[in-house]
């Protein structure tokens, strides 16, 4: 076997076909089912985007959107058995582990029945992930059993209401809504690929989503938004940030929230997230976080020619919406479950098991020496 086809990290390898999104394609940019991300983030709600990804089309009119929202709202309540599982998880657990476990547990309570109900399972997960996380969180903080209920029509507002216990203001609600749209889908990224690999064995929907959550958790992928806010908040001023960044770069440290495998010049989602971060900084009258972030962006561009990816400014959006840091990556799950679901459905519709090969670099063939004669 030759190494000629070997590409570390599968860089540049076409691993399948998709009709769900385009990422970094010349003349197309980032689109979900052909619609530009700028249009979706500018005009749509996350529920419209979830419908587009999971069910294949935008809702045709207000009535269809309203009925989809009502369906998702009705799917928000947690089964009693799942509430009890969540209550057993330690308060010190990482919320990503809570979602991964919650998803896996739900798979034992509401398993897929036969073929053809993937879209219902996907809607259930879209509706249920915020309820799962906030039930676990509030139970350990105050003993409250939320059971996932709230009649806020949108997922962003539902999440903020369960987190803060009050009606979210319009600006924050829309900022989170837009972040969910930006996070919803991104072609063959690591977690989506992981979901597709699991689906390709004809495993069940919940196993594929559980694989994806585990893959998203790492700081090189979804976990970068949590690392980004830790970095920004480490500094007291733009000058302090500049000095700190220079030290990190000299030590060859990675700066989370920068760089991308596919994008080489800019991440089209970053400009939208940046705009929302600036709006929120203006809205709460606290420019410091944005000034520090902008200086980090300047230094990274000048020193490394690197640009912020979606996670960098989204981290500021989440901080200014009063969201605890360890919930940043779970918010990514709330959104990306729509994209993962679309990919699992697509994989199943034209399946072939993923099974690449490896170049062997281990020892030469050697004799087996029975135990007792090895020295």
Catalytic residues: 221, 260, 311
Q: Which of 95, 259, 330, 339 binds ligand COA (CB under 6 A)?
A: 259
Question: Does residue 271 bind ligand COA (CB under 6 A)?
Answer: no
Distance CA 141, CA 123 (A): 28
Interface with ligand COA, residue 23, by CB under 6 A: no
Q: Comparing C-alpha atoms, which of 151, 140, 135 is closest to residue 83?
A: 135
Q: Compute the least distance from the CB of residue 192 to ligand COA, in Å.
A: 12
Which residues 191-250 are close enough to bind ligand COA by CB under 6 A?
220-221, 224
Contact 22, 37 (CB under 8 A): no
Q: How far is the CB of 340 from ligand COA (least distance, A)?
A: 16
Contact between 257 and ligand COA by CB under 6 A: the answer reads yes
Rounded to 5 degrees, what are φ and ψ at 86?
-65, -35
User: Residue 304, interface with ligand COA (CB under 6 A)?
Assistant: yes
- The neighbour count for residue 5, using CB atoms within 10 Å, is 10
Candidate ranges 36-44, 259-267, 270-278, 355-363; the one touching ligand COA (CB under 6 A) = 259-267
If the CB atoms of residues 134 and 224 are measured against ligand COA, the closer one turns out to be 224
In this complex, which beta carbon is closest to ligand COA, that of residue 240 or of residue 301?
Answer: 301
Q: How far is the CB of 306 from ligand COA (least distance, A)?
A: 6
Check residue 260 for interaction with ligand COA (CB under 6 A).
yes
CA distance to 155, 162, 245, 336, per residue, from 70 (Å) = 11, 18, 47, 21
Binding status of residue 261 toward ligand COA by CB under 6 A: yes
Given candidates 258, 318, 334, 340, which one binds ligand COA under the rule CB under 6 A?
A: 258
Length of the chain: 375
Task: Work out the number of other CB atoms within 10 angstroms of the CB of residue 108.
Answer: 11
Chain centre to alpha carbon of residue 285: 29
| 306 contacts ligand COA (rule: CB under 6 A) | yes
Least Å distance between CB 257 and ligand COA? Answer: 5
Q: Which is nearer to ligand COA, 223 or 238 (CB)?
A: 223
Q: Which residues pair with 25 in a beta bridge?
A: 29
The backbone region for 364, taken as left when phi is positive above 0, alpha when psi lies in -120 to 50, beta otherwise, is beta
Per DSSP, helices labelled H in the chain are: 37-43, 46-55, 62-74, 80-88, 95-109, 118-142, 155-164, 170-183, 190-200, 205-216, 224-234, 238-250, 268-283, 288-304, 310-320, 328-349
| Residue from the set 311, 313, 338, 347 that interacts with ligand COA by CB under 6 A | 311
Question: Which CB sits closer to ligand COA, 159 or 258?
Answer: 258
Neighbours of 168 (CB within 10 A): 22
Q: Is 9 in the site for ligand COA (CB under 6 A)?
A: yes
- Nearer of residues 43 and 304 to ligand COA, judged by Cβ: 304
Contact 225, 209 (CB under 8 A): no
Closer Cβ to ligand COA, 118 or 267, answer by number: 267
Restricted to residues 107-146, the positions that interact with ligand COA (CB under 6 A) are: none
Q: Closest approach of Cβ 128 to ligand COA, in Å?
A: 25
What CA dihedral angle connects 314, 319, 324 and 329, to 10 degrees? Answer: 0
- Taking CB atoms, the residue at the shortest distance from ligand COA is 259
Among 255, 272, 289, 333, binds ligand COA (CB under 6 A): 255
Residue numbers of the site for ligand COA (CB under 6 A)?
9, 220-221, 224, 254-261, 304, 306, 309, 311
């Amino acid at each position: 076997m030759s190494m000629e086809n070997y590409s570390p990290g599968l860089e540049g390898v076409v691993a399948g076909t998709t009709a769900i999104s385009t990422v970094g394609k010349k003349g197309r940019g980032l689109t979900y089912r052909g619609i530009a991300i700028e249009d979706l983030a500018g005009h749509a709600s996350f529920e419209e985007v979830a419908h587009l990804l999971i069910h294949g089309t935008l809702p045709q009119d207000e009535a269809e959107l309203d009925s989809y929202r009502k369906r998702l709202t009705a799917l928000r309540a947690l089964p009693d058995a799942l509430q009890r599982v969540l209550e057993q998880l330690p308060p010190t657990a990482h919320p990503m582990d809570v979602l991964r476990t919650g998803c896996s547990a739900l798979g034992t309570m509401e398993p897929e029945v036969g073929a053809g109900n993937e879209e219902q399972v996907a809607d259930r997960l879209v509706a249920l992930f915020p309820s799962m996380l906030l039930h676990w969180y509030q139970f350990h903080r105050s003993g409250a059993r939320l059971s996932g209920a709230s009649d806020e029509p949108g997922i962003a507002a539902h999440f903020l209401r369960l987190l803060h216990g009050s009606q979210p203001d319009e600006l924050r609600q829309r900022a989170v809504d837009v972040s969910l749209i930006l996070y919803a889908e991104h072609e063959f990224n690591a977690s989506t690929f992981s979901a597709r690999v699991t689906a390709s064995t004809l495993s069940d929907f919940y196993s594929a989503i559980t694989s994806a959550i585990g893959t998203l958790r790492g700081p090189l992928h979804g976990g970068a938004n949590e690392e980004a806010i830790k970095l920004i908040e480490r500094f007291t001023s733009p000058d302090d940030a500049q000095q700190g960044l220079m030290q990190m770069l000299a030590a060859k440290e990675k700066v989370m929230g920068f760089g991308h495998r596919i994008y080489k010049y800019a991440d089209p989602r970053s400009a939208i997230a940046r705009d929302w971060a600036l709006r929120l900084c203006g809205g709460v009258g606290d420019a410091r976080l944005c000034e520090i972030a902008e200086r980090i962006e300047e230094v990274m561009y000048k020193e490394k020619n690197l640009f912020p990816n979606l996670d960098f400014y989204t981290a500021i959006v989440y901080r200014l919406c009063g969201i605890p840091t360890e919930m940043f990556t779970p918010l990514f799950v709330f959104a990306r479950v729509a994209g993962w679901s679309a990919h699992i459905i697509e994989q199943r519709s034209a399946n072939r098991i993923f099974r690449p090969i490896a170049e062997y670099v281990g020892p030469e063939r050697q004799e087996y020496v029975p135990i007792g004669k090895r020295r």
